[in-house]
A and B are shown apart, each in its own frame.
Chain A
């Protein structure tokens, strides 16, 4: 087979054989090497979070990939194909002009102030007059997860990307990675147990907030999310107790200790 090995001759058959074998093997190795070096490049240039989200998004269940305009009736049942990043979406502006079809009321007891913008991973963003923005867990998110035992916040100076990992929190064996609502640089941490978790300097320009929900649209989405939470919990042995249409308790974790919180939190915070 190889020059120098007993039985090899520089005959056409051997040359064709050797080159075909070498070609295939080198294509295979080059493919692996290219993938490896591109991975290194992506990780170094900070694109890892965005790419990981891309893969996660593909694997999300169908009902978690609905377009934002599906909730208020502008585009019923439409699936998002851009990883919840409406900043460059061509159809988002068109749908935004369509009148909502369904009346929206916020579920009882939940607070979603109009001053805040909301992200599909249950975080809110509050732009500040100084050009920074505060980030925290929204009301439903806070009720689902309750008081975390451990919170791992990114160090100031860390660059966040939209839908990338913002911070981790753990409680009672359940562990979630909270998705970042903004692209920007972490400036400061909030007080432990306080309203906001991160102060971020967002990317410049108007498009920085275009993908976030607000007002009636946010309320429609929260409605759908509450329903989804009910369905998630209803299939548990204790779930039936919840489906009474009443107000959500402040700490669901405590109220339903036997529910599969790892699963439910992962689903609510768009973890795979």
Chain B
């Protein structure tokens, strides 16, 4: 009996370490430079994803907007929040760029074409990026201390069965989608 209790305690301890402790060690939490509210932009500003995130001319990177495009609307604070004040005084007025942490940035050897997926396959942004576009606050960014990549590439869930859109951007997630849609890309289709 005592052995059983010790075993169960050890098991629980190991699981807790694996689920909670190890990610704490592995990932470094980094705040976004500003609290950004996607929802308010879409609802009150009646904007679309592509209003700010443009696909580059070569079709590759959807793009994080530059401060200048924020300044088009936010020349003066549009509300009374602290973030609004910081945006205008610290970034828009001195024309400084915001150091946004990109959740879905892939490793160097991966090549992703927004043009193929958005223009040709007519996929919605949510199919990969999940509900981030309608969130009210910018969630914290976690950087892998070893590889330097974003934790969102792996996704928050440890058990990777039945993942919802936007819960992971690992190679297997890309692959399973490609398999579902019956399009094969080959290794060098996505790698360079």
Can you list 4 A-B contacts (CB < 8 A)? Answer: A4-B172, A6-B171, A6-B172, A6-B175
Query: How many residues from B make CB contacts under 8 Å with A?
Result: 3
Give the complex CA separation of A100 and B53 in angstroms.
108
**Cβ-closest chain B residue relative to A4:** B172
* Chain A contact patch, size range: under 10
Give the complex CA separation of A6 and B173 in angstroms.
10
Q: Which residues of A contact B (CB under 8 A)?
A: 4, 6
List of B residues within 8 angstroms of A4 by Cβ = 172
In chain B, positions 150-190 with a C-beta closer than 8 Å to chain A are: 171-172, 175
List of A residues within 8 angstroms of B175 by Cβ = 6
Give the complex CA separation of A29 and B43 in angstroms.
61
Give the complex CA separation of A4 and B175 in angstroms.
11
CB distance from A40 to the nearest CB of B (A): 13
**Cβ-closest chain B residue relative to A5:** B172
Give the complex CA separation of A6 and B172 in angstroms.
7
List of A residues within 8 angstroms of B172 by Cβ = 4, 6
Give the complex CA separation of A4 and B171 in angstroms.
12
CB distance from A159 to the nearest CB of B (A): 25
CB distance from B185 to the nearest CB of A (A): 13
Give the complex CA separation of A4 and B172 in angstroms.
9
CB distance from A36 to the nearest CB of B (A): 16
CB distance from B154 to the nearest CB of A (A): 15
CB distance from A191 to the nearest CB of B (A): 40
List of A residues within 8 angstroms of B171 by Cβ = 6
Give the complex CA separation of A21 and B78 in angstroms.
65
CB distance from B184 to the nearest CB of A (A): 12
**Cβ-closest chain A residue relative to B172:** A6
Q: Which 4 A-B pairs have the closest CB atoms?
A: A6-B172, A6-B175, A6-B171, A4-B172
